[in-house]
Amino acid sequence: MKSIDLSTRAKFRLSGSDRVRYLNGQVSNDVTKAGGGCAISACVTNVKGGLEALVWITVEAGGEAFLIDADAALREVFFQRLSKYIIADDVQLEDITEEYLLIHDLDHGDGAMASDRYAMPGNDRWVIPGDLPAGTDWMSVSDAEVLRVERGVPCWGNELTPGILPAEAMLDRRSVDFHKGCYVGQEVISRIQSVGRIRRSLVALAFSGGCPQPGWCLMDAAGEKAGEVTSVVESSPGTLIGLGYAKCDLTVAKAVCADNDLLCTATSRSSAFAGRDCGT
């Protein structure tokens, strides 16, 4: 069983008698789904529905607190974001980034915390440094990145940036509960879901005839910009795949660098993102 070291991620503990009500008012998913052997993902958005963070939430052993993790780059801003909404709530928010290792196993065993971080069965382990069992079969950082792109999983700094709408990144499929109560940004996210139309969406790409880089534009047959490449990996020798954003009806495009003197063909490589009704 391969394991991925996610210990660099920012980690927080939220406790107090109002923790469920408070956290449900801050994130897009229903936090009561966490626990019972399951971790959940959730979006943190601004009042316009734009993304501020994608987090994973689990329940601490004993059930007295939530454990929350986010991308390492969000350690300070996410802590400040949650803190500013604590007014008269009985909650305590702690930064515990250095107190735990966070390990993701690409399998799910009995008694483990189920987590589909890589869009496949797996489990999370919050481990106190020094208590990690010997003999862990680690996946390299580069192999984990290939797996992420192969599975179409967006990550912060590539596909996920401030202001991205959850529906654009397909996060509404597993990180949003449309039947829970209100939270910051809920009105906009619900309106998008009811209307069913967005301007662009996350796409899986295969490249040929060149070596694209994140940031390259996707150009349609008319030579108009139709999207952007956000991630590129070599999945096998000579085979380049990636992720990006594009108009939903775009199946073949030219990936072009900024000065237009380098280009390659980008083709939609998967039906994993099918079913989204998009507008232009």
Contacts of 164 (CB under 8 A, 6+ apart): 50, 51
Euclidean distance between CA atoms 162 and 49, whole angstroms: 10
Q: What is the pTM of this model?
A: 0.92
Per-residue pLDDT band for 275 (boundaries 50, 70, 90) equals very low
Euclidean distance between CA atoms 190 and 13, whole angstroms: 28
Q: Provide the CATH topology of domain 201-268.
A: Elongation Factor Tu (Ef-tu); domain 3 (2.40.30)
Supply the pLDDT for residue 134. 82
Euclidean distance between CA atoms 148 and 155, whole angstroms: 8
Supply the pLDDT for residue 111. 66
List the domain boundaries for the chain.
2-150, 201-268
Give the CA angle between residues 274, 275, 278 to the nearest 5°.
100
Strand, coil or helix: 30: coil
172 pLDDT above the threshold of 80: yes
Supply the pLDDT for residue 135. 81
For 191, other C-beta atoms within 10 Å of its C-beta total 10
Residue pLDDT, tens place only, 37-83: 999 999 999 999 999 999 999 999 999 999 999 999 999 999 999 99
Average pLDDT score over residue span 12-37: 96
Residue pLDDT, tens place only, 173-231: 999 999 998 999 999 999 999 887 788 899 999 999 888 999 999 988 888 888 999 99
CATH class, domain 2-150, is alpha beta
What does residue 173 show for φ and ψ, rounded to 5 degrees? -75, -30
Supply the pLDDT for residue 230. 96
Same CATH fold assignment for domains 2-150 and 201-268: no
Give the CA angle between residues 44, 47, 50 to the nearest 5°.
55
Strand, coil or helix: 19: helix
